Structure 1
Amino acid sequence: MNPVTGRIREVLADAGAEGWVHAVQLGAANSREIGVGADELVVTASVYKLPLLVALCRAFDAGSLDPRAAVRIDPASGTRGPTGLSTFLDPVTLSWRDLAASMIGVSDNTAADVILAEVGLDAVAATLADLGLSQTRVVGGTADSHASLVRDLGAASAAEAFALLADNDEVRTVSAYAPALASATTPREMTRLLGLIWADAAASPAQCAFIRRLLGNQVWLHRIRAGFPFRGVRVAGKTGTIGAVRNEVSVVEFDGEAPVAVAVFTFAARADAALPTVDAAIAECARIAVTDLRSGRL
């Protein structure tokens, strides 16, 4: 076993989680890469918001959607969640691009479902196909995922479903955990998507710059960003969480060096609302992979 991949597997095992990882240098000749199950299908959770964002930005490029157009949203009819518009009590008006900022910056569920309803699953699928991401699919938004949990668990509401899912005294089999049934991807395809964004090839250069800006403004510091707590490094990415699933895909940039795209997907033995040990393992897996790609040795 490669010592780097062996160490990654040890970190995940110590955290009580299965994991799938891919990391690759971007824009470098003969780029090196690190992979642990890099081509296996994994559940995206809210990482699906990244290909959705790309599809939205391609709609901006095509002129089929005005990024500055006003959208009025009543949060009472939106998808519940702990952040963004999902927590609001009163109707608000935002532009499409500001909705996208909330969708990525704080993983806003309501914003994401409003965007998906406008863009459409067919456009997301066409975007993925055009970019050569044949293993990645988006089958629905956050509202669809919550509805499937309610059905699978026989719950009366999404809140009750999440409470049942977090009960570690019972084994729960739900479609949200099954890559064959939920929105899914592979770690390698997510680093490829990040590479296309950083190369201005996923959409127009202006829209790719917009995507990079939004990913750089993500507020969460507890996963990949926690692996690089020092100056001279920038981390831009998107998290995903549902029950025992905890993920993040990011680009890590050190001053004067080629960026490194890294994707870490995990499935924990527990489904607590907070699993800081698994979050820390995601950070450590990213740190190990990025350090090796930067230096060629640990």
Structure 2
Amino acid sequence: MTTDPDSARGFGTAAAPRRIEEVLTDAGLLACWHVRDVDGEAELGRSADAPVATASVHKLFLVTTLFREAAAGRVDPTAAVELPPGDRSPGGTGLSAMRDAARLSLRDLASLAVAVSDNAAADVLWDHVGMDTVNRTVAELGLRHTVSAQRYGELVASVAEDAGEGGAAALLDPASPVRVRALDPGAGNRSTARDTTALLASVWRGEACAGPWGEELLRVLGLQTWQHRLASGFPFDDVRVSGKTGSLLSLRHEAGVVEYPDGRRYAVAFFTRSLSPALAQPRADSAIGTAARLAVDALRG
């Protein structure tokens, strides 16, 4: 069966992309998105093969690589790492916000990178796993449009450099002529919505990482604490949502898997850019959950 990347297929899905675009547009969002049945062929998408700057969603590729290397016997995720105070990648959560020395295993660092999107924890993983290894992993998984190019400390530093004396607030001014490299898919970590759902589907099917370390990877990817985007569209006790957000200036992303009690599973990726300079946009965040729910409902028929 051939696939038009901007069309729907599945059960009664013809009108769903139009309704999803209305929800996102009403919230002031431009989006590249893709939703697929993890265990079947049904899918929905819009601009699913367009390159996007992934922000913190890229931690999915990093953490998957860690546990895939563990399954191959090349990395021990239980190995402890000494983390002295200071000289940590900036961020508002996890080790990035902590002041004292710590000692954590690689898998606990992966848990922090997913649960609270800890930049410092993620960069320790980059240092131990290696950028080339992450790129080799995505190539082996057939993700042809995904590239790892920078640590999170480098990403944050580039934003500060581009902002100059005006600070980050200057970058949020719609009239600002400053080119922000962090928003350019060609300048840093990048992927597509389709590659991202392909990664998630391969993880949940046990193909990207098999055995006990595959089970540990699923556990870690289910730890995210944020409920304001993808999970907001599925407020049910018997529906499990595992996700990873990405937030940077005007970028508002989320990718994850929605699992229903009947056993059906759906990989979801929404990469959005807000037309508003405001940092707090609860309506835009919840629109991502609403759009995801519309897509999953359409695929469920």
Fold agreement, TM-score > 0.5: yes
Q: CA deviation at 1:169?
A: 5.5
Q: CA deviation at 1:270?
A: 2.2
Match of 2:36 among 1, 20, 24: 24
Residue in 1 that maps onto 2:193: 187
Q: CA deviation at 1:250?
A: 0.8
Residue in 2 that maps onto 1:83: 93
Kindly indicate whether the alpha-carbon contact (under 8 Å) linking 2:68 and 2:214 is maintained by their aligned counterparts in 1: no
RMSD: 1.5
Gaps of 5+ in 2: 1-6, 8-13
Residue in 1 that maps onto 2:25: 13
| TM-score under structure 1 length normalisation | 0.93
- Give SS of 1:23's match: strand
Q: CA deviation at 1:222?
A: 0.2
Listed as ranges, the matches of 1:147-186 within 5 Å are 147-155=157-165, 161-168=167-174, 170-186=176-192
- Farther off after superposition, 86-95 or 51-60: 51-60
Please say if 1:286 is aligned against 2:296: no
Please say if 1:119 is aligned against 2:129: yes
Gaps of 5+ in 1: none
Q: Percent identity between the aligned chains?
A: 40
Kindly indicate whether the alpha-carbon contact (under 8 Å) linking 1:71 and 1:96 is maintained by their aligned counterparts in 2: yes
| TM-score under structure 2 length normalisation | 0.92
Q: CA deviation at 1:118?
A: 1.3
- Farther off after superposition, 11-20 or 217-226: 11-20
Deviations 1:83-118 (A, max 9, x none): 111111101000111111101111001000111011
Listed as ranges, the matches of 1:109-258 within 5 Å are 109-155=119-165, 161-168=167-174, 170-258=176-264
Kindly indicate whether the alpha-carbon contact (under 8 Å) linking 1:38 and 1:187 is maintained by their aligned counterparts in 2: yes
1:76 to 1:191, Cα distance in 2 relative to 1, 3 A: same
Deviations 1:124-177 (A, max 9, x none): 11001100001011111211111211222224xxxx743332345635421111
Match of 1:47 among 28, 47, 57: 57
Kindly indicate whether the alpha-carbon contact (under 8 Å) linking 2:54 and 2:189 is maintained by their aligned counterparts in 1: yes
Take 2:21 and 2:140, find their aligned partners in 1: how far apart are those partners? 33
- Give SS of 1:225's match: helix
Kindly indicate whether the alpha-carbon contact (under 8 Å) linking 1:250 and 1:261 is maintained by their aligned counterparts in 2: yes
- Give SS of 1:76's match: coil
- Give SS of 2:86's match: helix
Q: CA deviation at 1:245?
A: 0.4
1:88 to 1:288, Cα distance in 2 relative to 1, 3 A: same
Kindly indicate whether the alpha-carbon contact (under 8 Å) linking 1:18 and 1:268 is maintained by their aligned counterparts in 2: yes
Kindly indicate whether the alpha-carbon contact (under 8 Å) linking 2:246 and 2:253 is maintained by their aligned counterparts in 1: yes
Q: CA deviation at 1:73?
A: 0.9
Kindly indicate whether the alpha-carbon contact (under 8 Å) linking 1:112 and 1:142 is maintained by their aligned counterparts in 2: yes
Take 1:19 and 1:73, find their aligned partners in 2: how far apart are those partners? 38
Please say if 1:58 is aligned against 2:68: yes
Take 2:224 and 2:85, find their aligned partners in 1: how far apart are those partners? 22
Number of residue pairs the alignment of both structures matches: 289
- Give SS of 1:203's match: coil
Kindly indicate whether the alpha-carbon contact (under 8 Å) linking 1:197 and 1:208 is maintained by their aligned counterparts in 2: yes
1:11 to 1:283, Cα distance in 2 relative to 1, 3 A: same
- Give SS of 1:240's match: strand
1:75 to 1:274, Cα distance in 2 relative to 1, 3 A: farther
Kindly indicate whether the alpha-carbon contact (under 8 Å) linking 2:71 and 2:214 is maintained by their aligned counterparts in 1: no
1:11 to 1:172, Cα distance in 2 relative to 1, 3 A: farther
Q: CA deviation at 1:230?
A: 1.4
